[in-house]
Structure 1
Amino acid sequence: MAGRKQFDVDEALRRAMHVFWRWGYSEASIDRLTEGTGLGRSSLYGTFGDKSALFRKSLQRYAQTYHPLYDQALSGPHPSPSAVVAAYLQVTLNRIADPAVPDGCLLTVSATQLPALDAESQAMVRAMIGGLRSMLEQALLAAGADGQEASELALCTLATNKSLAVLSRAGFSNDDLATVAAAAARIPGSPHPGLGRAQDPRDS
């Protein structure tokens, strides 16, 4: 039928997400996006709009893929704030260890390139980070932290999460990253609940 798309739109979006994830918005050129998705420029623009629109769709796809994992990990019940921190960072370690995706975190690399984004994309990045912080605060409160402790630990945990993403892109080993995460889980003063190196999906 005339006008019918002859490609998998969802798969093309997943590949575009990986291009932005690997290169960041600034270096994700249209040539890299067409090469990464396998689409011509006209198909790319006709399906997703301009580069900024495609970026926002990719960021939304990233959130839809990974944020439910954090939500599930934080749903508890958790015996202590330390356990909340550990559960959150374990999701990060698992994603970083996945060989099927780029190193780091799309949200983190996007935050580092905020000045290159348009206003709508900047607002989207900030809102997503704020949503994760709020999610952490609620879980910490449920695990017994008081209001100030929950606010401080949520911010510290979020910062550790972003640090792990940066360190992974710099080539730090999974063991090094697990050490950072385990140290962060000890901050509330309780023994950390066994944070360890993430399992490589190829071993399962």
Structure 2
Amino acid sequence: MSGRKQFDISAALDQAMQVFWQRGYADTSLDALGSATGLGRGSLYGAFGNKDALFGQCLDRYASIYGAQHEQALAAHPGDPVRAVEAFFGVVLDRIADPSVPSGCLIAQSAAQSSTLKDENSAQVRGLLDVQRQRVRTALADSSADTRTLDELAVFVVAVNQSLAVLSRAGTPDTELRSVARLACATVADTLTRAAPEDLTRG
């Protein structure tokens, strides 16, 4: 034994993630990270590297937790893209309503602060948004609508998701957030119906 204090790296990463999630990258100090994790600056640097490297690991951690939930929801209703999108928004709204985590979304929070991020972190945020779009687009592929319509709907769903996160940070009530999600799902359903070939819509 070296005598060096041992700590749970995964737990420290989760604690750091919540600080970035609550405060945003720009307003998160090393002192705040140290207070949340119980680690001194030396231990933080030794375990995670600098602030930017730690932030990147927190983004990955966030994406691995909630991205998996999104993927599971979107894949739960094969052949029914509207129900898949409804399930996706259900997961999003449940996270927003969870009192054990900060409001909003770490990715949305970070996207809004892109100008303060290092280039590699900004690119990472864009990449995570693109992964989300690709997951939604895959769920929509069961529709008979044309490719352009499906591509546009995937962007629309991700945009609504990010808007829900921003609205929740502003204190918008859960009932209003769920109303936004319902209208978004209705828009998806209506757009898919209108975009379907005529022979299919006639049954």
Once the 2 structures are TM-superposed, how far is the Cα of residue 82 of structure 1 from its aligned partner? 2.3
Greater shift in the superposed pair: 173-182 or 1-10 = 1-10
User: Aligned pair in 2 of structure 1 residues 145, 80: CA closer, same or farther (>3 Å)?
Assistant: farther
Once the 2 structures are TM-superposed, how far is the Cα of residue 79 of structure 1 from its aligned partner? 4.6
- Paired residues of 1:74 and 1:87 also in contact (CA < 8 A): yes
Q: What is the CA deviation profile of residues 83-126 of structure 1, one whole-angstrom value per residue up to 9, with x for unaligned ones?
A: 23212111110111111100000000000111111111111111
Count of aligned residue pairs for this structure pair: 190
Unmatched 5+ stretches in structure 1: 191-204
- Paired residues of 1:80 and 1:144 also in contact (CA < 8 A): no
Please name the residue that 1:141 is paired with.
Answer: 141
Please name the residue that 1:166 is paired with.
Answer: 166
- Paired residues of 2:77 and 2:83 also in contact (CA < 8 A): no
User: Aligned pair in 2 of structure 1 residues 145, 139: CA closer, same or farther (>3 Å)?
Assistant: farther
Q: Distance in 2 between matches of 1:17 and 1:151?
A: 31
Letter of the 1:165 partner, please give it: A
Q: Distance in 2 between matches of 1:4 and 1:143?
A: 57
The structure number with the bigger radius of gyration is 2
Letter of the 1:22 partner, please give it: Q
- Paired residues of 2:79 and 2:142 also in contact (CA < 8 A): no
RMSD: 1.4
Unmatched 5+ stretches in structure 2: 191-203
TM-score between both structures, scaled by the size of structure 1: 0.88
Once the 2 structures are TM-superposed, how far is the Cα of residue 189 of structure 1 from its aligned partner? 3.7
TM-score between both structures, scaled by the size of structure 2: 0.89
- Paired residues of 1:81 and 1:144 also in contact (CA < 8 A): no
Greater shift in the superposed pair: 74-83 or 170-179 = 74-83
Q: Distance in 2 between matches of 1:145 and 1:6?
A: 55
Letter of the 1:154 partner, please give it: A
Letter of the 2:124 partner, please give it: M
Structure of greater relative contact order (alpha carbons < 8 Å, 6+ residues apart): 1
Letter of the 2:174 partner, please give it: N
Please name the residue that 1:13 is paired with.
Answer: 13
Once the 2 structures are TM-superposed, how far is the Cα of residue 40 of structure 1 from its aligned partner? 1.0
